[in-house]
Structure 1
Amino acid sequence: MAVVSKTRNMLEGLVRDGSFKWLLGNQTSFDEEFEEMAKSPSGRKNWLPELSPMANVIVRRCSRILGISMEEFRENFNSEASDSIKHPSRFARNFLEYCCFRALALSTQMTGNLSDKRFRRLTYDMMLAWETPGAASQPLLTVDEESTVGREAFSRIAPAIPAIGDVVTCDNLFEVLAASTGGRLYFSVYEKYLIGLERAIKKLKTQSESSLLSAFRSSNGEKILEIDGTVTTQPVLQHVGISTWPGRLTLTDHALYFEALRVVSYDKPKIYDLSDDLKQIVKPELTGPWGTRLFDKAVMYKSISLSEPVVIEFPELKGHTRRDYWLAIIREILYAHEFIRKFQIEGFQRNEVLSKAILGILRLQAVQEVGPAVPFRSETLLMFNLCDHLPGGDLILETLARMSASLESDRTNNLSTGSGMRSISALAMLSNLGIALGTSSTVSEAGLAVGEMVVGDTTALERAVRESRTSFKKVELAQATIDGVKVEGIDTNLAVMKELIFPVVELGKYLIFLASWDDPFKSLVFSSVSSYVIFRGWLGYVFALVLLFIAVFIVLTRCCNQGRPVDEVKVTAPPTMNTMEQLLAVQNSISQMEELMQEGNIALLKLRALLLSAFPQASERVAVALLFMALILAILPGKYILLLIFLEIFTRNSPVRKASTERWTRRLREWWFSIPAAPVVLEGSKEEKKRK
């Protein structure tokens, strides 16, 4: 009674004293409800003193949606939640999440919820309340058009509604939406995004219900995701060999269709299946007149079912945004089917995976309609594309596969018991939006888990995504150094490579000098010592000593140069090429050679960075690995080492080791990508300096 009395007095006092100035002016979405709670005896009774005014309003809305009282809400939470979740220090936010997730699980079953402005405002207000859940965090109610939400609140609430966001890409989605507003999301931008999402869904329904390609896609129930080439000002060109046709390009959730344009109609479509295991390769491609490679505006599709690759061009005046968009959505469907095959996903969960890919493409279309202030990469908003690029992306997919298997098991059990599923899925979301994709399942209530979200805790998928993003930041920093040391021109790259391999060249020259016996004494000593070492079987000790020396050198360099920048590689720049030489360099063979040289330089610069401890963590690992290798070489006889090498090479692709080999190969590649490159400075030649 004392708590109720205190609450009543506080509410009445705030209204009487005019603390809520919004009552005198433009009212917000909270105003009427808060006023009603202040005046109504039942409202004062249901007021939870642990929650902020905003959180109390949101909990009241959730209770109305579910048709239960706030007191019953709290009793259910206390009975279902663990002690750690109910701890007073975490109660406010966890109870708010519980109420929001349960209400969203029911609200998202309603058809056309995205078109309901009240639902849009509800989800946004949930984010606002999530940022200030406790009474101490928000003593007064302050909500207006200038109110904004941050990344953490968006990433917590949005994935609970599969149409709006998912765990893997929600951070990137928030960055795009809030790019022009200082990293905070306004309701106007959020609502514009949801309106765009609703339009994308309506377009998908209209296209899929049309008779377009009905004779070819009806058997699979394919959904048409995108169409291009219907406008004469934006044609789509298909190149096969030396032949080129304009036409219409259509992407479904199973295949890519190209219909060549005739005089008054379209020809029979060429079908490029993305769902079957045809060793498909989809990548960007260069095109140009008469076979020249000048314009980066095309996508190349290659598979074992085709005798030669197919190039699909998306002409545009500036840039290659249109091509990048199509490349991303084609790959998303391709990667989704690869994920299905790899983890042998069938039935309901197969449709669930395709639903995730479809919703990702719909969100990308909605973001494009919003017109973000800064450019963004389409693949960062698509789950399977992003997992292919992120370090540890395979671990995210493995976690997603385990969750899918778990949800399928729960669904089977719940269907057998008649209790329904405890979480809303992407497939159910599409079904509720009016887009049927296979069989769906009804959501009855969410409990403490909704989809990929858990009240008061992080799921295995969230942890995998978080770890991957942490690694990605390191890769970005390393990539920045790589982009900074890439130089243009064959002659310049040769000069850099010559400088980097100078010690190796000098050692090779010295060995050639000894082998030539120009100095008989030195050659005799070298031959005698080498022969004796090999005869006594000391070759392993010699290599161990060399590795040990390199490891000690790395450690000593790190200790001596700690905090100091890595010495730059000084390279004498060759004379600039004339016009004819530059034209010749454009040729395909020279371009490929230049790319190979760049990659070689980057590898050498990374090795230099490791030796000079430019990346201490990686250098320490290298030092430890070298010490471990030195120990093995010092202890094991040579025949056992050769045997291990033989087994390593010839058993890599065996059924027993194939999965582990792929995993470790990827780990090694990701680690290598995270290593920065040593800086390079190009200096003018002495002759050019004299001329100046």
Structure 2
Amino acid sequence: MNGLTGQKMQKIFRALVPESLYNDARNLVEYCCFRFLSRDNADLHPSLKEPAFQRLIFITMVAWENPYLEELVNASEKASFQGKLVREAAFVRIAPAISGVADQPTVHNLYKALAGDEEGISLSVWLTYISELLKVHEGRRSYQIREYPQLYEERILCIASSSKRPVLKWENNMAWPGKLTLTDKAIYFEAIGLLGQRDPIRLDLTRHGLRVEKAKVGPLGAVLFDSAVSITSDTESKLWVLEFVDLGGEMRRDVWHAFISEVIALHKFIHEYGPEDGDESLLHVYGAQKGKGRATTGAINSIARLQALQFMRKLLEDPTKLVQFSYLEYAPYGHVVFQTLAVKYWGGPLITKLIEGGNQPTRGVRPSEEVLESSNHVFDIDGSVYLQKWMRSPSWVSSASIAFWKTSSVRQGVVLSKNLVVADMTLVERASKTCKQKYNDVEKTQATIDAAMLKGIPSNIDLFKELMLPLTIIAKNFEKLRRWEEPHMTVSFLAFAYTMIFRGLLSYFVPFALIVMAAGMLTLKGLKEQGRLGRSFGKVTIRDQPPSNTIQKIIAVKDAMQEVESYLQNLNVTLLKLRTILLSGQPQITMEVALVLLSSATILLVFPFKHILAFLLFDIFTRELEFRRDMVKRFMTLLKERWDTVPAAPVVVLPFDSTEDQSRSETETKETKDQEKPERSLKNGKV
């Protein structure tokens, strides 16, 4: 790589590091690789276009993983390396050092995507990944010239336009097909009408308060197709809903959700962790004016990698784990990784001497004595400074942040640049490692929660409520109709119901309902086979119970048991009162109830059923109207008073008899043995 012999590189490396580091062959591999990579600071390393360099990087990762060869490999295996696999540790160490290939926060997830079900990354997968990545970057350059030459201040990232897989923009329950273009600052939609393409509309993604979420869409307001994203703002009520039609599933939508999320998260990061626009202190730090561009390049490269994986069909279930800003926004310890990225992007050597008040100790490494007067600046591992006045985010004063920056000055290896350190880790790498560990802990904890979600009374009650939700919604909507909250809907329902009654169509209602149900089930079956309903369709989702200690759990169980006991008591009292009425425990009330039953039977015999049903419907839908409200209220009060006068049937509780319980258990045991004897004889008679 470096144009020097192996012995010459060993001598140089021996002179730079102590003996403890020199004796580790991996450190020599890192030094040879990182020294060559440190020569170029391009957004995408130019040597990646060379097939020899691509293979050399793969060989370097294999050598880093196996620096000591116990026996010589045969010539064919040595020449091809087809049987070799790069494991996670080697990929995580080498790949982020190459510009554009990977970044530290998401390199572990990138490895999982490339490796898939295999034990590592093969040479063919590695070469395919680099090839697809280069195609993405080449395609972007052609987009910039051909599609929107007027967008010279924005960089086009990706375009969605296909007749087979269109993009639909939903407005007022109407879907408009068109071409979608994503840049590093905005998203453009160019609708296709009957008269051709319309002028593109623009949504600025740099604004504060934007949110992008997965959504379901469908005709006439139905939420049926799980293939859309919605973009909303805290300041504006206008909503963008974009559907990414894909008969193969919702992965296309998930990828575009990650694209848009990454651009929004990028500008949130710049707003929170970067200096303000026009800040004069940017002139005091060399290269700080390019910090915003470096951060943008990081997001652009993340999206390019995700596009390459999409073309390779090697995506994770959640594509946002492959783009760093969106991933870190919700990852544990992500704010500390954001801070290290800010120091990486905006940090640099001091051009002028800064004198600021305050005597608190400096965080990080101090590059020289002249900056000792600047008290609260943060320093990178190579001595680059990140000024105190740029620390506008509240996360800088968190306990995790303070603890991290207190130990950030400890270093052991050879620093070639802020991004390349031999035999040690950069600040971003240290923070990302802790972030990954905490994320794994969260996933393990979540797995235990998922396994125990349905244990306990509260969770089962929540599950029952969720399962009964459709019936609850139907009951609430019927109650709205009954109370005339929407008069036009109530009138329409009554007109439909009375038409069914007096036209003699009630006999067709049940068969028609069964036909509609069967058609709906078959439609859902077809849509699910096409993948348009999403992987989560049909799953029952309930909220987990809030965290609690043992005493709180005991109290919660006690309260739940008291509620169940109260419900059973009320139910038993009702049943005992009905028993009193049926068995003439209160003769006067029994007589009244019997007369009501006889009158009802007479009415059913004399009058046609459709007239009775029409009258009951009239009664139900006029109870809340003004001309009947008082009468119904008086009638219900009378019924309640009569019900309260009904005594409960007497209950006798006998004392516990141990002899009776023992004889009962002996009888059950004898019956069980008698049942087992024929079974044994049948088994013995079989050949």
Deviations 1:137-169 (A, max 9, x none): 566576332111111111111111021111111
Q: Post-superposition shift, 1:302? A: 1.5
Change (3 A) 1:117 1:451: farther
1:581 maps to 2:471:
yes
Match of 2:330 among 364, 379, 389: 389
The equivalent residue for 1:354 is 296
* Count of residues in correspondence between the two structures: 426
Distance 1:265 1:577, change over 3 A: closer
Report the secondary structure of 2:194's partner residue: coil
Name 1:121's counterpart in structure 2: 55
Maintained 8 Å contact 2:87/2:120: yes
Assess, with a 3 A threshold, how the Cα gap between structure 1 residues 201 and 597 changes in structure 2: closer, same or farther: closer
1:461 is aligned to 428
Corresponding residue of 1:171: 108
Offset at 1:305?
5.9
Q: Distance in 2 between matches of 1:350 and 1:573?
A: 48
Are the counterparts in 2 of residues 160 and 451 from structure 1 also a CA contact under 8 Å?
no
Residue pairs, 1:44-59, within 5 angstroms: none
1:503-530 deviation digits (Å, cap 9, x = unpaired): xxxxxxxxxxxxxxxxxxxxxxxxxxxx
Aligned to 2:542: 598
Quote the offset at 1:108 in angstroms: 7.6
| Deviation of 1:382 (Å) | 0.6
Query: Can you list the C-alpha shifts for 1:274-323, whole angstroms capped at 9, x where unaligned?
Result: 1233x111111121111122222111111256442121111223431111
Q: Which residue of 2 aligns with 1:525?
A: none
Q: Do structure 1's residue 271 and structure 2's residue 207 form an aligned pair?
A: no
What amino acid does structure 2 have at the position aligned with 1:581? Answer: L
Equivalent pair of 2:105/2:429 in contact (CA under 8 Å): yes
Helix, strand or coil for the counterpart of 2:307?
A: helix
Residue segments in structure 2 that go unaligned for 5+ positions in a row: 276-287, 354-366, 368-379, 385-412, 481-537, 555-687
Cα distance change of structure 1 residues 411 and 63 upon mapping to structure 2, 3 Å threshold: farther
SS across alignment from 2:169: strand
Q: What is the Cα deviation at residue 453 of structure 1?
A: 3.4
| Partner residue, 1:376 | 317
Mapped partners of 1:575, 1:363: distance in 2: 43
Deviation at 1:389, TM superposition (A): 2.9
RMSD (Å) for aligned C-alpha atoms: 4.0
Q: Does the 8 Å CA contact 1:163/1:359 hold for their aligned counterparts?
A: yes
Match of 2:133 in 1: 197
Matches within 5 A, 1:307-318: 307-318=237-248
Opposite residue 434 of structure 2, the aligned amino acid is E
Q: Is the 8 A contact 2:170 2:242 kept in 1?
A: yes
Q: Which has the higher contact order (CA 8 A, sep 6+)?
A: 1
Cα distance, 1:583 vs structure 2: 7.8
The separation in 2 between residues aligned to 1:250 and 1:327, in whole angstroms, is 13
In the alignment, structure 1 residue 449 sits paired with structure 2 residue 416: yes
Q: Is the 8 A contact 1:241 1:308 kept in 2?
A: no
* 1:213 pairs with 2:103: no
Query: Are 1:93 and 1:134, in contact at CA under 8 Å, matched by a contact in 2?
Result: no
Q: 1:79 aligns with which of 15, 33, 40?
A: 15
Kindly provide the amino acid, as one letter, of the partner of residue 349 in structure 1: G
- Residue 111 of structure 1 deviates from its aligned partner by 7.3
Give the equivalent residue in structure 2 for 1:153: 90
Q: What is the Cα deviation at residue 128 of structure 1?
A: 1.0
Q: 1:482: how far off?
A: 3.6
CA distance in 1, matches of 2:92, 2:349: 25
Offset, 1:245: 2.0
Could you say which residue in structure 2 is the equivalent of 1:665? Answer: none
| Separation in 2, partners of 1:366, 1:483 | 33
Q: Residues of 1 paired with 2:415 and 2:469: CA distance? A: 69
Write the deviation string for residues 566-614 of structure 1: whole angstroms up to 9, x where unpaired. xxx8779869979973884999x99xxx999933xx134x32679679x
Q: Is the 8 A contact 1:81 1:448 kept in 2?
A: no
Question: Equivalent residue for 2:224?
Answer: 294
CA-CA distance at 1:370 after TM superposition = 1.8
Sort the Cα spacing of 1:178 and 1:263 in 2 relative to 1 into closer, same or farther, 3 A: same
Q: Residues of 2 paired with 1:96 and 1:115: CA distance?
A: 22
- Higher radius of gyration, 1 or 2: 2
Structure 1 pair 582/351, CA: closer, same or farther in 2 (3 Å)? same
Whether the 8 Å CA contact 1:159–1:453 is kept in 2: the answer is no
Equivalent position amino acid for 2:239 in 1: P
Match of 1:131 in 2: 65
Q: Can you give the 5+ residue segments of structure 1 that lack an aligned partner in the other structure?
A: 1-61, 415-420, 426-445, 488-495, 501-568, 614-692
C-alpha displacement of 1:339: 0.7
Aligned pairs (5 A) from 1:291-690: 291-303=221-233, 306-345=236-275, 347-372=289-314, 375-407=316-348, 448-450=415-417, 452-484=419-451, 499-500=457-458, 581=471, 584=474, 598-599=542-543, 602-604=544-546, 606-607=547-548
Match of 2:35 in 1: 102
Alignment-mate amino acid for residue 207 of structure 2: D
Structure 1 residues 581 and 172: CA distance shift in structure 2, 3 A: same
Matched residue, 2:155: 223
Distance 2:200 2:475 in 1: 39
Could you tell me how far apart the structure 2 residues matched to 1:276 and 1:574 are? 42
Shift of 1:395: 1.2
What SS does structure 1 have at the residue aligned with 2:423? Answer: coil
| Structure 1 pair 147–376 and aligned structure 2 pair: CA distance change class (3 A) | same
Question: What TM-score, normalized by structure 1, do the two folds share?
Answer: 0.55
Contact kept in structure 2, 1:357 and 1:382, CA below 8 Å: yes
C-alpha distance 282-409 of structure 1, shift in aligned 2 (>3 A)? farther
Deviation at 1:461, TM superposition (A): 1.6
Matching residue's letter, 2:300: I
Give the AA of the match of 1:457: D
SS in structure 1 opposite 2:261?
A: helix
Cα distance 1:154–1:290, how it changes in 2: closer, same or farther (>3 A)?
A: same
* 8 A Cα contact 2:215 2:226, kept in partner: yes
Q: 2:184 aligns with which of 205, 228, 253?
A: 253
Does the aligned pair in 1 maintain the 2:328–2:335 contact within 8 Å? yes
Bigger mean CA offset, 77-86 vs 280-289: 77-86
For residues 62 and 336 of structure 2, the distance between their equivalents in structure 1, rounded to whole angstroms, comes to: 32
Q: 1:575 to 1:359 in 2, by over 3 A?
A: closer
Aligned to 1:28: none
Decide whether the 8 Å contact of 2:168 with 2:177 is kept in 1: yes
Alpha-carbon contact 1:176-1:376 (below 8 Å) kept? no
Q: Distance in 2 between matches of 1:100 and 1:240?
A: 54
CA contact (8 A) 2:230 2:241 kept: yes
For 1:323 and 1:455, the matched residues in 2 are separated by 40
SS at 1:164's partner residue? coil
Deviations 1:75-122 (A, max 9, x none): 332333355533x2x2x2112110111123347869753231101101
Deviation at 1:401, TM superposition (A): 1.2
CA contact (8 A) 1:108 1:161 kept: no
